[in-house]
Amino acid sequence: MQVEASERTPARLTTRLVFLFYSRPVFRAWEIVCNHAARLIAHKERMRSVQCSRAWAELNRQRMAIQRELGRISSSHAHVCAQCGHCCKGTRERDAFLDRVIQNPHTEHIGARRRTGAMVGLHIAQAQGQLLHPDAPKAHGCCNELTCAGCRLPQTLRPMQCLAYFCGAAAKALSQQECEAGIRLLKQLLKLHWQAVRLAARSRWGRTRPD
């Protein structure tokens, strides 16, 4: 979306700065804390019980809805990111513990980092025939999911950080309404992380049956 000159008012600049504050230091720090907490607390068998799996599935439904809306905002800054590409550079894995467990509580990758195998989202996209750019060659020296035509995962199956992160240049391409929507969605994603930590705690100390 084109940002009009009339949108460059102090109030709108403030909204963009608040949005960047949520997107970067707050989300980054909160994501790290919640992932480590959930990973350390979760009972590795009971977190896969029927009860817990239902609760993870509900969190996953909410996560997908949030990422779908963040994806709509992304279309306004896609041209900025396509030119830059910095976020997808480097071969480190992007998916964190909660990205994997929320999408598939039975995942074998329950460490802080996934060192082998593929993203849970990739398996789901393949199984559901949702892979994007299937004929495009892979990009070298970048995230394993990046092709020369863009990310091969649908936005709802990407790691949360891929949709939640915005730099100043990307945020500059957003309208006032998009920044406001972004703040609301990022707050929802922060809350979802906390709910995931609470569910991990329930798997260890709550009344869940190891089915």
Of 50-58, 108-116, 144-152, 175-183, the window that binds ligand SF4 (rule: CB under 6 A) is 144-152
At what angle are helices 10-21 and 176-205 packed, to 10 degrees? 20
Q: Give the Cα separation of 157 and 126 in Å (integer).
A: 11
Structure token digits, residue 200: 């991990």
Phi and psi (nearest 5°) for 151?
A: -65, 140
Q: How far is the CB of 80 from ligand SF4 (least distance, A)?
A: 5
Compare residues 46 and 114 and give the one whose CB is closer to ligand SF4: 114
| Amino acid identity, position 42 | A
State the Cα angle at 73 between 77 and 137, rounded to 5°. Answer: 60
| Contact between 140 and ligand SF4 per CB under 6 A | no
Of 3-11, 48-56, 126-134, 157-165, the window that binds ligand SF4 (rule: CB under 6 A) is 157-165
How does DSSP assign 138-170, residue by residue? Answer: BPTTB-TTEETTEESS-GGGS-HHHHH---HHH
User: Site for ligand SF4 (CB under 6 A): which residue of 37, 151, 164, 197?
Assistant: 151
User: Site for ligand SF4 (CB under 6 A): which residue of 167, 181, 190, 201?
Assistant: 167
Phi and psi (nearest 5°) for 144?
A: -60, -20
Q: How far is the CB of 127 from ligand SF4 (least distance, A)?
A: 17
> Which 70-89 residues touch ligand SF4, going by CB under 6 A?
80-81, 84-88
Interacting residues toward ligand SF4 by CB under 6 A: 80-81, 84-88, 94, 143, 145-146, 151, 153, 158-159, 162, 165-167, 169-170
